[in-house]
Amino acid sequence: MNAETLTVENEKFLSQRTKRVQESPTMQITTQAKKMMSQGLDVVSLSAGEPDFPTPDFVCEAAIKAIREGFTRYTAVQGIPELRRAIAEKLRRENNLNYSPEEILTSTGGKQAIMNALLALCDEGDEVIVPAPYWVSFPEMVKIADATPVILPTTVEQGFKITPAQLEAAITPRTKMLILNSPSNPTGAMYSEPEIRALMQVLEGRDIFVLSDEMYDRFTYGEVEHFSPARIENMRDRVITSNAVSKTYSMTGWRVGYIAAPRWIIEAASKLQSQMSSHTSSISQKAAAVALIGDQSVVQLMREEFKKRRDFVYTELSKIRGFKMNLPEGAFYMFPSVEGLLGKMHDGVVLHTSADVAEYLLKKHLVATVPGEAFGAAGYLRLSYAASMEELQKAVARLKKAFA
Ligand code: PLP
């Protein structure tokens, strides 16, 4: 047997679960762009899903202190009390949500936090409604939990938001959960309070849970105020709010995420986590607690910088004929429709799909983007503006040239 590669002979040994799941396409593109960079090519990457700022100093200091003081052993599965208290305080301060530390489970990043919730609630045959364009991992995570993702498509024309009628039409007796992600990765779209209330009204009286992924709640730019579904009193017992310190504090590598939910869900998810990973790093937990209750001006600075970049990229890309876009109200992504460029010749190449557009941009113009196919929305491109202004200026000039 070839020990290095997956072949027809050894594929039969893989579980059905593994075969059902796709590898993250955003990682693949980032890898390709990095490879080109290592070959000396001047690639501008707009494919990153993480802030380009360093982790704040005071957070790093807290981690160093934790190591020096020997805080390097197992902790409680749910996480250290000071971290869970800090999360409860954050949820109160920023989201108007009242959760006790017992209603919070901390995990290895937002990813594990979400996966825990899905594993705790979903069985084979259950349906989980996932609005598209979706964050790449949602449908795959649903599949890992043996459930079936039910994709609800949206378009740039409808602001990338599902309507109550669409939600109503997608519900079946097997619907177990709805996943909401506002602000959204990849579109930056946000649901307003009335929009969330209208969607939640559809779920009233039904045993359907809501997973509200609020990863980008601090990166909003003034058009729409972030609103958590768990604020709706009669929904609180069926909403799982997930978040992490990853993006907010530029701590993607530290791996601290969490869910806040009714205690019985937290206990079930903790039981699963206790057998899989126990808890996230003790050192990261100390650092995350300090990030959440410490000086929040770092977040404000990042937010202001992202807003400046968003306005610049939006204004410039709007000038490209063939790009159709909405103003992203949050997160750090743009999601233009490139339908207008398809079927046409560019530099002697005919682009048929958004994947062709992404490949053309990377290979011919050295700009890395992610094609909409990765997010369940062919015909679009995701561009991350978590890159320096200088890089963004370079990227914009190349994009204009590519489609001149
Ligand atoms: N949810 C969304 C919408 C994301 O964009 C990401 C990261 O890209 C995550 C969750 C997972 O974040 P973490 O790095 O904390 O696992």
Instruction: Tell me the mean pLDDT in the region 48-69.
Output: 95
CATH of 10-54+298-402, one of 3.40.50.720, 3.90.1150.10, 3.30.460.80, 1.20.1420.30: 3.90.1150.10
Output the CA–CA distances (angstroms, integers) from residue 206 to 161, 227, 239, 264, in the order listed: 22, 21, 13, 18
Domain locations in the chain?
A: 10-54+298-402, 58-293
> How do residues 129-168 score in pLDDT, each as one tens digit?
999 999 999 999 999 999 999 999 999 999 999 999 999 9
Helix (H) or strand (E) holding 25: helix 25-38
| Whole-prediction pTM | 0.95
Distance 110 CA to ligand 1 centre (A): 5
Please choose, from the candidates 313, 121, 308, 111, the residue with its C-alpha nearest in 3D space to the C-alpha of residue 215: 111
The response to whether residue 333 sits with its C-beta less than 6 Å from ligand 1 reads no
> How do residues 8-50 score in pLDDT, each as one tens digit?
888 899 999 999 998 776 677 778 888 999 999 999 999 988 9
DSSP string, 192-244: -HHHHHHHHHHHTTS--EEEEE-TTTT-B-SSS----GGGSGGGGGGEEEEEE
The response to whether residue 257 sits with its C-beta less than 6 Å from ligand 1 reads yes
Distance 344 CA to ligand 1 centre (A): 35
Please choose, from the candidates 36, 243, 24, the residue with its C-alpha nearest in 3D space to the C-alpha of residue 137: 24
Write down the architecture of domain 58-293 according to CATH: 3-Layer(aba) Sandwich (3.40)
DSSP secondary structure code for residue 246 in this structure: T
pLDDT at 1 > cutoff 50: no
Same fold, 10-54+298-402 and 58-293: no
The response to whether residue 246 sits with its C-beta less than 6 Å from ligand 1 reads yes
Distance 116 CA to ligand 1 centre (A): 14
Instruction: Tell me the mean pLDDT in the region 70-78.
Output: 98
Euclidean distance between the first and the last CA atom of the chain, given in angstroms as a whole number: 51
Distance 43 CA to ligand 1 centre (A): 24
Confidence of residue 346 (pLDDT cuts 50, 70, 90): confident
